[in-house]
Each structure stands twice: as C-alpha cells, then as structure tokens.
Structure 1
C-alpha cells in the first residue's frame, strides 16, 4: 500500500464521541467525562488541552478503547468500539489505533526495525519492509534500523515511536504528552515530525498536551474543563492557547 492509499479513508469520521460519560466509582465517585460529544475528520490534527483533572487523559483512553465509557458511544471509523468484546477490541486496536507515549515505550532488546514492526507482528501480519523504510525516512531515522533504543537520544526514540504508531496504517494515532520528557528544542522537532507525517500520509492525529506550543501545531484544539468540552479553537497561536488556559485557571 502506498502513502497515497493511506489517505483513502472510507468514512467521513475518524473518531466520534457521542454523549460520553465516564465515572470512576468509589466512596466519592469521580465524574471524569460529562457528556462529551466530539467528531474528528480523517486527516485532522487535534490537540486536547485543559487544566489538571479536566479529563484529558480519560478522553484519550476512552477514545482509544483503552477504557470503557460509563455511557455513550465511541466510534473509530465506522466501528462502534463501545460494543466490542475485550478480545475483539484488542485486535481492533492493533490494526486501527496507533499510540505515542511520553515514555516512548520502545522494547529495549529489539532493534529500531523490530520496534517499528511490532504492532503488525503482534497482530500476526507480515510486516511491509518497504513501508517501514519509508516511515523511518519520513521521521528522520533512515539508516538506523539495526540500532537499539539504548543507542538513541530521547528525540530519536520518540521519532521511532511515531514510525511505530504509523506502521499499521491506523485510522487514528493518539499521542499522550509526546514531548513531556524532552527539552523544548527537541520537543519542537518531534511535534514538527508529527505534523509533517500527518500531512504527508493524511493521518488523523490526536495529541493530549499541556504545552501551548504543541497545541499550536494542530488544526484545532479541544478544550476540556471539569469533564466537559468547553471550547474548540481553530488554527490558534501558542499565545491564544495560553490565554485560553489562563482564563480556565482563573475561573
């Protein structure tokens, strides 16, 4: 499959949350999401922001199928993942959902090439080595196939993690604070890699971040507060994002 084919999505929606509630039970129940409705188009680059405790991480884990909503529907492409059994959901995630984590989550004893191929290996699918080479070139890591994660800088490791997330040609890639462990200069480079690969391959990307500069690289910013979607900012600057966060902090 070519990169052009990756852009040929059969659905008008990449991710859809419809009246999603998530409550964590306990002596004092925590209402992490309160009726969130959010639709993301294929090929869009969306940042999710909000104060601490606003529901950002819960939104990501619920949208990605890592956690189950208390009520409401979650769709990835045409599939309502809220209805899938655990085993079916695991198989679906391996093929349709890519992840980029703050801590990279590369397997230390595997080479760069093996780390990138891992999602398809786990899914029992033969990896496309030409596609792997194209991805590594796209993220600026061409020629590093045989290196181990311990031989990489933090920025390089995150570039490999981005290539791994893209390798199965998923419907959506979720990135959880992908620059959180990096210095500002390296973080900016990683964000640019995410932005460039999203544009090049028509990839839908959702980034949870606290950094206005990361959010400013996105097409739009979904703003959460107290489990509610309170705003959508389109093509904002870092200054506009920071100002909006300050208004929430002072609310």
Structure 2
C-alpha cells in the first residue's frame, strides 16, 4: 500500500469530563475512498472537525504526506489541500454556480473581478469531473436539484488543487438517480488520485464506492479494514457493538461519548 496522504495517530479529544475520541488512528490514502462509519455519538463529527482544524487535539499526531503538520485552524488545513464538504453544503441560493465556487476566493483583474477567468475555471473543473447535468455555470444555485447542488459543492472543494476531500453524508435526502450521480463523482475523485473520505450511514453507498472502511464505536476505532474483507453484517455489528468475529475492540468500552 502507498503511504497515506493524511494520518492521525493516537488522537484524543475531550470536552470537559467527556472523553470523545480515544487514541484514534485514522489514515487517508491517495486514489482511495475511505468510508468513516459509526452510530450517532460514535465520534465521527468530532474526528472530522479535528481533521478540519475546527477542534484542536488534546494529544496525538497529525501528519500530512508523512510529515508533522502544524494545524491551528481551518485555514492551515485548506493550505495543506484538505477540503470538507459539509452536509448543509454551504452554498448561497441567490448566487450562481461560478459565484458560489469562488465565494471568498474571487479572482481579480484589478480593480474588478475577473469574471471571464472564474467562469472558465468553473467550466474546466466541472468538465474534469465529467459533470454533464449542469446546463450553465451561470445558473442560480436556487434552480438546481439536490444532486446538482452536491456536485457544485464537491467541484468547489476540488477547484483549489485539493489532495483530500471529506464528504459528510453526500447522498442524504437524494433520490436514486441523484445518488447515482454523486457516487459516480466520488469514485471519479479517487480515480484522479485524490484521497476521499466518505462519512455515511448508508451501507449500500459505502460498499459501492469505498476501498477501506474505518468503523468508530464510542470514540474508538473498532476496525480499519479493506472493504473487500468485511461484509455488510460485520460492519453493522462493528458500529453497534464494537466487535464482529475477528474484527473489533477487545473489550467494549463502558464510558459513553458524544
């Protein structure tokens, strides 16, 4: 296996007396989709926010491309080439696709915005991801379907030469056809050499696109295995009980987490 792009080693995080993450090891590899799964309260959101620089670590190592990374906030993480697409997508309905993709990072030809270059880069990025469902990059986001919005949010994340993209429940509330479009896009991101993290409760989606599965149980890593080596039933058992046959935590933790 190639070296991981991102690696967290022995990460701990507490909020007051509540110990949320317990010695978590997590890795993201180039050209692979890593599914991060776990029940509500397992620590997925906290782990993602630690990766994104929103939360600091109490202890543990944060390595990027094999070297320790100085992460003090989201700007440092973005500088490494790590982007997060949250479930709410953070898109502005009153702006068009180009304006959303460059929001806060507008290109300028002093003293005005370089609309032509931004439009060209938006088209180029969507074309590189084989996106064909968007008619015009000047469409208002308010006019897009759920699947198209998710596509724009992902394209916005990869526009800046990202190396890792984290996707938080990207198919939630989508129909069958729109889910298909998004999963195809997730796979294409990995095929381009990016490291992709898919946070999902949908085991069908996970097994369709994931190369590896990391299961969290009460803030601990119950298993980190190739998707081909576990079954749907085993992953559900890891999520709900922390153990399944040869995989899992030796002794179920007794402390609760959030």
TM range (shorter): 0.7 to 0.9
Alpha-carbon distance in structure 2 between the residues aligned to 1:99 and 1:119: 15
Equivalent residues of 2:216, 2:239 under 8 A apart: no
Deviation string 1:181-208 (CA, Å, 9 cap, x unpaired) is: 3234422321121112321x21111111
Deviation string 1:77-104 (CA, Å, 9 cap, x unpaired) is: 35644x3444xx5154256122222222
1:161 corresponds to 2:153: yes
1:136 corresponds to 2:126: yes
Alpha-carbon distance in structure 1 between the residues aligned to 2:105 and 2:4: 24
- What corresponds to 2:215 in structure 1? 223
- What corresponds to 2:196 in structure 1? 205
Normalized per residue, which structure has more helix? 1
1:101 corresponds to 2:86: yes
Task: Select the residue among 31, 36, 41 that pairs with 1:53.
Answer: 41
Unaligned runs of 5+ in 1: 1-10
Change (3 A) 1:51 1:91: closer
Map 1:3-152; keep pairs closer than 5 Å: 12-25=3-16, 29-77=17-65, 80-81=68-69, 83-86=70-73, 89-93=74-78, 96-118=81-103, 120-121=105-106, 130-137=120-127, 138-152=130-144
Change (3 A) 1:13 1:226: same
Equivalent residues of 2:53, 2:77 under 8 A apart: no
Q: Which protein shows a greater Rg? A: 2
1:190 corresponds to 2:178: no
How far did residue 229 of structure 1 move?
Answer: 0.9
Alpha-carbon distance in structure 2 between the residues aligned to 1:132 and 1:60: 27
Unaligned runs of 5+ in 2: 108-113, 243-258
Runs (4 or more) in structure 1 with deviation over 6 Å come to none
Equivalent residues of 1:133, 1:142 under 8 A apart: no
How large is the Cα RMSD of the aligned pairs? Answer: 2.9
- What corresponds to 1:7 in structure 2? none
Alpha-carbon distance in structure 2 between the residues aligned to 1:71 and 1:167: 32
Equivalent residues of 2:24, 2:220 under 8 A apart: yes
**How many equivalent pairs are there?**
233
Deviation string 1:127-177 (CA, Å, 9 cap, x unpaired) is: 665442232122334542101111001111101111011101112101111
